[in-house]
A and B are shown apart, each in its own frame.
Chain A
């Protein structure tokens, strides 16, 4: 395996199950085109496409490494307004917050 290929990352099947059964997270239509990143007023390179990819792949550790970024999203929906695949980006980010609030922060 070459060095750059998601080494040291573990898939968490429980995480996939929780995401899949939630009914609230849906990013399967994302084509990874990058428009969301280009228009984000926060200029956050990671949001939202990479986070969504981590989530769909069950890479919970990678997702939680980026907790700060998940909370930096303004939920302003500029990305959603421009998304060509009609992904409910803001609701997905909110879902990730909801997951962290419950599973990590125990709120």
Chain B
């Protein structure tokens, strides 16, 4: 029996309404990636993480527990978790992340900021003030909660004098660039993905030789929602990598399965395995570059130890940074 959809969605939406994020995490876990980078607070242009990468270790842990409950009688008791979650943060108990995952996803955002600095981009960060963009509420069709969150984010940006945001993941890019303007009158924030920013920078030149073949996994959201297809390829080529393309690629890329993981974990895993097979058809134990935290988590899980699946920023930083 699948998990009770209403209670699983309800739990996350209750969190969003009450705690301004679907998975409440300690704020240092959200902002700690910026330690040592001396990024100024605020500014007209800010890096906007939406905490997507930072949330992933918690989501991985939560999904693992949900898999245990899926198809068991325990699934019937998810409603109790939702009941108590209204009083205290139950999700904190069901999503205790692995330290290695926290470190891995934190490092990715650090690398992205490092690449932007190397490219000579001037940007600030909202640190503790930054809010989750509301992606999950939008995808799950909980429009009232999503609208509230979208307005919170927009007000936050306006109050802090932000006019341009540089996003680090496809979902936040899509929500802030293509969805917010449809529900917020006069929305005037310029939204760019860091991949677009880096691709247009002449300052970013390889410092180290990286002779390696990399199979590219396009994110559905970047490729089909935002038409970000050439930029990651330009950057990998400029870095010195040789790109390999899987059977389904670019605008016809194959989903990683991640978007349904919170409700249908096992089904999601099957989709991920199908995608992994496409990689294995063209590479034997090779490297795969993802550009979305959800893709990376889903594909890593589906691949086991067979492939080196890393975020594209991890490969770029090896070539472009000291």
One digit per residue, 1 when the CB lies within 8 angstroms of any chain B CB and 0 when it does not, for chain A 48-80 equals: 000000000000000000011001111111101
Task: Name the distance in Å between B256's Cβ and chain A's nearest Cβ.
Answer: 9
B115 within 8 A of A: no
Q: Do the beta carbons of A77 and B220 come within 8 Å of each other?
A: yes
Instruction: Count contacts on B: residues with CB < 8 A to the other chain.
Output: 29
Task: Name the distance in Å between B313's Cβ and chain A's nearest Cβ.
Answer: 23
Stretch at the interface among B56-64, B137-145, B302-310: B137-145
Q: Do the beta carbons of B140 and A101 come within 8 Å of each other?
A: yes
Task: Name the distance in Å between B132's Cβ and chain A's nearest Cβ.
Answer: 17
A84 within 8 A of B: no
Stretch at the interface among B5-13, B20-28, B85-93, B117-125: B5-13
Known: A101-B142, A107-B145. A74 touches B271 (CB 8 A): yes
Within 8 A of B (CB), among A7-35: none
A45 within 8 A of B: no
Within 8 A of A (CB), among B267-300: 267, 271, 274
Q: For the side of the interface on A, what is the size category?
A: 20 to 34
A67 to chain B: which residues have CB within 8 Å?
5
Task: Name the distance in Å between A87's Cβ and chain B's nearest Cβ.
Answer: 14
B255 within 8 A of A: yes
B181 within 8 A of A: no
B40 within 8 A of A: no
Q: Which of B140, B252, B254 meets A97, CB within 8 Å?
A: B140
**B residues whose Cβ falls under 8 Å from a Cβ of A:** 2, 5-6, 9-10, 13, 138-145, 220, 224-225, 251-252, 254-255, 257, 259-260, 263-264, 267, 271, 274
